Structure 1
Amino acid sequence: MDVHFTQYQPPKALAFGFWQQIGLPARGRKLHELLHEGVEYRVYPQLAKVSGIEQKVLASYVDIPPATLSRRAKSGRFKMAESDRLYRFAELFKAALDLFEGDADGARAWLLKPNAGLGGRRPVEMSATSAEYQTVLNLIGRLEHGVSV
């Protein structure tokens, strides 16, 4: 009997549902425009809710000081650099969610746990810069393909 294994592909509904829940397009021109003009503040509490990470804690992971967060809540919009960091965090959470086949608790636990493949750092702490973010995405890719870290 011939057995063929295929790489796990998350259901399209899961991918679409995540971005819809937080209020951002997953890709494309509309996303690019939103990031340039600044993501609306309402996305932030939704991202915290979906990820299960308290808002104040999430702000520290994406390097947004409390006073700045308060100003953004009043103005209703984040600046471009802050929007980009929020998007990177959302991408990391979504990638972890896919790795754990939609299990949000498993994804959150993995993001919060120190990881040997990241030099003992927690993945959630690595969304503030693009280099760190890419390192975590690369690790998730290796894990999805069964490559030991």
Structure 2
Amino acid sequence: MYQSEKHDFESISDLIVEYSPSIKSNIAIALEANKGIDAHTFFDIVKLSGYSKDEMAQVFSTSVKTFSRYEKENKKLGPLRSELILKIMALFKKGIEVFGSLDSFKSWLGKPAFGLGNNTPFSLIHTSTGIDLVHDELVRIEFGDLA
């Protein structure tokens, strides 16, 4: 069971289903990000990703302590952090679809990828552009374009 302060999930797929309306398209992500998302969503993405809180906090250039305080105060995150979290959630959804499992996708995230200039995909997800590059690489893999 995957738990956050606000949600209990039986599986990773349940967590993805919960957020599907917010990540179904770029326009949905933009609109949701503009409103701001609840800080507890950070802890949900930690559960989804399987990375530690500290590793994911570094991705967002924010401390775990700040996310915890925002969650305790029921604050929403600003549009930029909201967008990054939602885009990463969509990226994990796509990665699990392409690789068939979270473990396989995470393994790929940590290995240099030729199509990404031999950078590890995980090293690129700190920015919106980097997330887009990783997503585009997943689409190429999905359709067998590995050159």
How high is the TM-score relative to the length of structure 2?
0.75
1:19 aligns with 2:16: yes
For residue 90 of structure 1, what is the aligned residue in structure 2? 89
- Bigger CA drift: 126-135 or 23-32? 23-32
Counterparts of 1:99 and 1:116 in 2: how far apart (Å)?
17
Structure 2 distance, partners of 1:116, 1:70, is: 37
**Aligned counterparts of 2:133 and 2:28: Cα–Cα separation in 1:** 26
Is contact 1:118–1:136 with CA below 8 Å preserved after alignment?
yes
Which SS does the other structure have where 1:121 is aligned?
A: coil
Q: Which amino acid is 1:20 matched to?
A: V
User: Deviations for 1:27-77, whole angstroms, at most 9, x for unmatched residues?
Assistant: 367654431121101211111112111111111123324454344334332
Structure 1 residues 82, 50: closer, same or farther in 2, change over 3 A?
same
Structure whose CA Rg is larger: 1
Task: Please say which of residues 125-134 and 92-101 is displaced more in the overlay.
Answer: 125-134
Query: What corresponds to 2:3 in structure 1?
Result: none
Note the residue ranges of structure 2 that are not aligned, 5 or more in a row: 1-10
CA contact (8 A) 2:23 2:86 kept: no
Cα distance, 1:48–1:15 mapped onto 2, change above 3 Å? closer
* Matched-pair identity in %: 21
Cross-structure match for 1:8: none
Task: Name the SS for the 2:22 alignment partner.
Answer: coil
Aligned to 1:136: 134
In structure 2, which of residues 27, 30, 42 is the aligned counterpart of residue 44 of structure 1? 42
Match of 2:115 among 114, 117, 135: 117
2:62 alignment partner, one of 61, 64, 72 = 64
Q: Distance in 2 between the 1:15 and 1:54 partners?
A: 16
Correspondence for 2:7: none
Structure 1 residue 137 displacement after superposition? 1.3
